[in-house]
Structures are given as structure tokens and as C-alpha cells.
Amino acid sequence: MLTIAGRKFRSRLFGGTGKFSSPEVMKESLAASGCEMVTVALRRVDLNNPADDIMRVLDRDRYLFLPNTSGARDAGEAIRLARLARASGGGEWLKLEVTPDPRTLLPDPIETLKATEVLVKEGFKVLPYINADPILALRLQDAGAVAVMPLGSPIGTNQGVLTRFQIEIIIAQARVPVIVDAGLGAPSHVAEAMEMGADAVLVNTAIAVAGDPVRMARAFALAVEAGRIAYEAGLGAVRKDAAPSSPEDGLGFLR
């Protein structure tokens, strides 16, 4: 079973709550995914529609909230969002995101490390979203991050695990759980990440924008489970040259 900061998770699939066509579709999809932790963002209340409240459909007893700091462009903005999240009843868990460039949404490693150092001291359980940088992952765990969340590919791109080489190193070195986040666009992508030994994956866009998000959530859940079982079972070695699966002996009768 996966344990992060002392909390146990049966499911190794974490869900996002953005981009769903309706709160009801989101609720049903999260249920189908079997996830136990969900990300949420913080934004201004829409004064023209103050009744619009995602909390109407999200069951706090069922899901651990992982508020994100999406939209933050530097450490200061991320820290402000983190404090607002805690004051909103979001708890201590935090997906720390610092993305200064709206075109790539790639995380700023220096600002992310700075914010982690401050927020860990304030008692947050910090899960930083990072580029797949093994050295940064080590620096963050030394700074007190309870997990690291390297990206497979840029947010919302559905391109899969483009950072395989670096993520393999992160997994080999990490003392904290490794959650592959961002860009995982198909069940095969999450299966790949889990087969590599990732502790968990986080999926939002690929489920939310699917033709049938509820069925897609189920497909992702199965792929995460399959990938994890395969990792635990031990995959066969990759080799360059062919090796016959059938016996080479006993063919004397042919020639």
C-alpha cells in the first residue's frame, strides 16, 4: 500500500477536478477512478454567480484534498495561495506549482525549492510539481517535501512519458514517493509510468476531456493497477537480439 507522510492510500491514481463538463460528471468520474486524493485550485469567487461551488459535489470524507498553487508565477504567489488554501479548510496537503511561463507551464525549479523551504516550516505537507530533474528531486526531499511530482510531459498535452530516462533516475534515488504528474494522456501512459516503478500517477485532463469521462476513469484505474502489478511481478529484461520462445532442440525431424 502506498504511504505518503504517514497516510495510506489504496489507490495509486490521484484525480484532478478541472475541465469536467459538469460537477456531476466530475463526481461520477472520480468515483469510477477509485482515487482517494483529488487536486483542487483556488480562484476568486465569481460575484455574478456566487452559488457556483465545487464543494457541493465533493465529499470531504471520501477524498483527501490536495489544493494546488496553480497560477503562481513565483514563490511569493505560491506561498500566498498555500496560506489561502489552508484558511479555506484545505488542510495541510499542498501540490506546489510555480509556472512562470503560460506557454509551456513548465515549473520554475528555483522558486519551487524556495517555496518548499518556507511552506515545510509552516507545517504544510508539500508535494512539488517539478520538471523531471533528479538533482532537484533530491534537493526537494532534503528540504522536507513529502513526495515529488515529476512531469511526464507538459500539463494538458496528453503526450505521455517523454521524460522516461530522468524519471527512472528519480525513482531509483528517491526516499519519498514519486508521483508522475502531467501529460499522461492515455491508460497506456500511466501503465508505463507504473511499470517503471512510479509510486502513483496524477491524471486530470485525459479523463476530464474524454468522450466518456466515467468510462475513461475506469480505464485509467485498471491501467494503474496493471502497471503496478507488473512492476511488482518483475518485468523481463529488454534485449537487442531475438530469443526464441519455443525450444530450439527437437527439430531434427524437419531436416
Partner 1 sequence: MKIVCNGQALEIAPGTRVADYLSQLGLETPSVVVECDGMILSREEYESHALQDGSVLELIRFVGGG
Sites of contact with partner 1 (CB under 8 A): 16-20, 26, 39-45, 47, 50-51, 53-55, 65, 67-68, 70, 83-85, 87-90, 155-156, 202, 204-205
If the CB atoms of residues 109 and 156 are measured against partner 1, the closer one turns out to be: 156
Q: Phi, psi (5° rounding) for residue 139?
A: -60, -40
Angle at which helices 134-142 and 164-173 pack, to 10 degrees?
A: 30
- Name 196's Cβ contacts closer than 8 Å, sequence gap at least 6: 161, 164, 167, 168, 171, 231
Phi, psi of 220 (to 5 degrees): -65, -40
Instruction: Provide, rounded to whole angstroms, the least separation between the CB of residue 93 and partner 1.
Output: 13
Contacts of residues 37-40 at CB distance under 8 Å and 24 or more positions apart, as own/partner, are 37/9, 37/63, 37/64, 37/65, 37/66, 37/93, 38/14, 38/63, 38/64, 38/65, 38/66, 39/14, 39/15, 39/66, 39/67, 39/68, 39/95, 39/202, 39/204, 40/65, 40/66, 40/67, 40/68, 40/90
Length of the chain: 255
Q: At its nearest, how many Å lie between partner 1 and the CB of residue 15? A: 9
CB of 88 to partner 1, least distance (A): 4
With respect to partner 1, which residue has the nearer C-beta, 21 or 173?
A: 21
Which of 27, 95, 114, 125 is labelled catalytic?
Answer: 95
Nearer to partner 1, 66 or 143 (CB): 66
Query: Rounded to the nearest whole angstrom, what is the least distance from the CB of residue 142 to partner 1 in the complex?
Result: 27
Judged by beta carbon, residue 1 or residue 87, the one nearer partner 1 is 87
- Confirm whether 125 is a catalytic residue: no
Q: How far apart are the first and last CA of the chain?
A: 55
Contact 231, 194 (CB under 8 A): yes
Query: 80 or 121: whose CB is closer to partner 1?
Result: 80
CB of 91 to partner 1, least distance (A): 11
Return the active site residues. Answer: 95
